[in-house]
Amino acid sequence: MTGRLHDKVVCITGAAQGIGAGIAETMAKEGARIIIGDVNDDGAKSLAAQIGTTALHLDVSSQEDWQALAAHISERFGKLDILVNNAGLELVKPMRDHSLEDWRGVMAVNVDGIFLGCKTLEALLSKSGKSGSSASVINISSIAGIVGYPDQLAYNTSKGAVRHMSKSLAIEWAAHGDAIRCNSIHPGCIRTPMLEMAVEGWVENGSVPADDPWGAIASLCPLNRVGTPEDIALGAVYLGSDESRFVTGIELVIDGGWVAR
Ligand SMILES: NC(=O)c1ccc[n+]([C@@H]2O[C@H](COP(=O)([O-])OP(=O)(O)OC[C@H]3O[C@@H](n4cnc5c(N)ncnc54)[C@H](O)[C@@H]3O)[C@@H](O)[C@H]2O)c1
């Protein structure tokens, strides 16, 4: 690794495990100074100790938690260069079994969480962007934000909203000269605790065979494997670094070719 994020201050949500943890580890190797925000305090602290960084309690659906995080970043670092909105919840069941509470619970984390993060940290990001190279917001959507999948209506809809929110903010920040770029990443099947839980359900309902569920998922992917958090992290490093200085409003699909078929 070559210090592609040297001295950049980065906030990553939902980084106690899975894709967020992979992004934190990879960005730390590239020289970033990282703040992890997660509801899983023990997991976040343990990763922070491992990579030498800070963990703060953050429920992304809480405006008060975001305000406390912004105050901490302002006091400790005085700037924010990159915000990775990664925290997310999945809900797998047919629409007929979605309660309004289920629907709102998914939207609160996957959509409100990103709105609140962008809104609360906008001033810190803009200050940093205007004083050097542009700041970067990276929103983790999904291939489910581009194409439909059965039995996850709230999740798919929330990820479609993340895709559009990212483009709208990219244009709004450009129009106002805020010096903040904004892009979305759309992971395919990435082996994390979230996907492991989903796969248990697929085994139970017979959509993948119990003897080799991961092999079956890999065989559906043109590149014939399940992705890793590092696959996503490498895209996030590009979008966070100055290498992507002319890139805003894009949707970066990292899925081994899944939605290209
Ligand atoms: N794993 C995949 O195959 C896949 C595919 C497409 C998109 N994604 C997206 O990538 C992101 C990360 O997914 P993952 O697979 O690593 O999930 P994961 O469940 O393994 O990890 C999610 C993390 O978010 C945290 N979190 C949950 N609710 C939170 C809240 N309210 N506030 C703060 N933190 C919260 C959890 O504690 C956890 O650390 C999600 O947005 C997910 O939708 C994942």
Consecutive 10-residue runs of the chain (261 residues): their mean pLDDT? Answer: 91 98 98 98 98 96 98 96 98 95 98 99 97 95 97 97 98 98 98 95 91 96 98 98 98 98 91
8-state DSSP, 12: E
Report if residue 214 sits inside a domain: no
Report if residue 217 sits inside a domain: no
Report if residue 153 sits inside a domain: yes
Report if residue 115 sits inside a domain: yes
Helix runs in the chain, H state only: 18-29, 41-51, 63-76, 100-107, 113-131, 153-175, 193-204, 213-219, 229-240
Report if residue 36 sits inside a domain: yes
Report if residue 3 sits inside a domain: no
Q: Is 150 helix (H, G, I), strand (E, B) or coil?
A: coil
What's the confidence (pLDDT) of residue 132? 86
Residues of 90-106 as b/e, b for ≥16 C-beta within 10 angstroms?
bbbeeeeebeeeebeeb
Q: Which atom of ligand 1 is nearest the CA belonging to 191?
A: 1
Distance CA 135, CA 165 (A): 17
What's the confidence (pLDDT) of residue 1? 60
Cβ atoms of 137 and 182 within 8 Å: the answer is yes
* Full residue range of the structural domain in which residue 34 is found: 9-188+228-260
For ligand 1, is residue 189 a contact (CB within 6 Å)?
yes
Tell me the backbone φ, ψ of residue 24, rounded to 5 degrees.
Answer: -60, -45
For ligand 1, is residue 139 a contact (CB within 6 Å)?
no
Q: Please list the active-site residues.
A: 155
CATH of the domain at 71: 3.40.50.720
What's the confidence (pLDDT) of residue 158? 98
For ligand 1, is residue 39 a contact (CB within 6 Å)?
yes
Number of domains in the chain: 1
Residues ≥6 apart with Cβ < 8 Å to 71: none
Q: Is 59 helix (H, G, I), strand (E, B) or coil?
A: coil
Report if residue 162 sits inside a domain: yes
The pTM for the full model equals 0.98
Residues ≥6 apart with Cβ < 8 Å to 78: none
Report if residue 207 sits inside a domain: no
Q: Which residue's CA is the nearest one to ligand 1's atom 32?
A: 59
